[in-house]
């Protein structure tokens, strides 16, 4: 079984780092996974993670890149509120809809194996 150690406890993930049990997510999990993936989490990363988690909580499904862009264009302005900037933030892990979802603990994109 694959996983990651978080505060002395083993948290199960699949081979790519997606949580097996979404209820095990914590900020400590996100920090540990980010460190393993070589990402230094900034305030902007945390804002994206919070947006992904809140969208999932309200809608019961993952957000989309266009929905993220629409939200962050308002929150950050037109220069940073772009798909390009979101992908730049999560460039080491295939973008905000893969690495962002892993860090937010919401599972794979719809239709992704």
What are the residue boundaries of the structural domains of the chain, listed by start?
Answer: 2-104
Give the pLDDT of the chain (113 residues) as one tens digit per residue: 799 999 999 999 999 999 999 999 999 999 999 999 999 999 999 999 999 999 999 999 999 999 999 999 999 999 999 999 999 999 987 899 999 999 999 998 765 55
pTM check: above 0.85: yes
Position 32 scores a pLDDT of 97
From the list 13, 17, 10, the residue with the least C-alpha distance to 99 is: 17
* Helix residue ranges per DSSP H, 3-91: 27-36, 43-59, 65-76, 83-89
Separation CA 19–CA 91 (nearest Å)? 20
Position 109 scores a pLDDT of 73
């Amino acid at each position: 079984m694959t996983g990651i150690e978080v505060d002395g406890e083993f948290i199960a993930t699949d081979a790519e780092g997606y949580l097996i049990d979404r209820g095990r997510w914590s900020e400590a999990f996100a920090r540990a996974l980010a460190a393993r993936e070589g990402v230094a989490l900034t305030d902007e990363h945390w804002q994206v993670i919070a947006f992904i988690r809140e969208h999932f909580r309200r809608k019961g499904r993952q957000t989309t890149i266009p929905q993220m862009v629409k939200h962050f264009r308002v929150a950050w302005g037109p220069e940073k509120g772009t798909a390009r900037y979101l992908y730049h933030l999560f460039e080491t892990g295939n973008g905000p809809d893969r690495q962002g979802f892993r860090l937010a603990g919401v599972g794979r994109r719809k239709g992704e194996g």
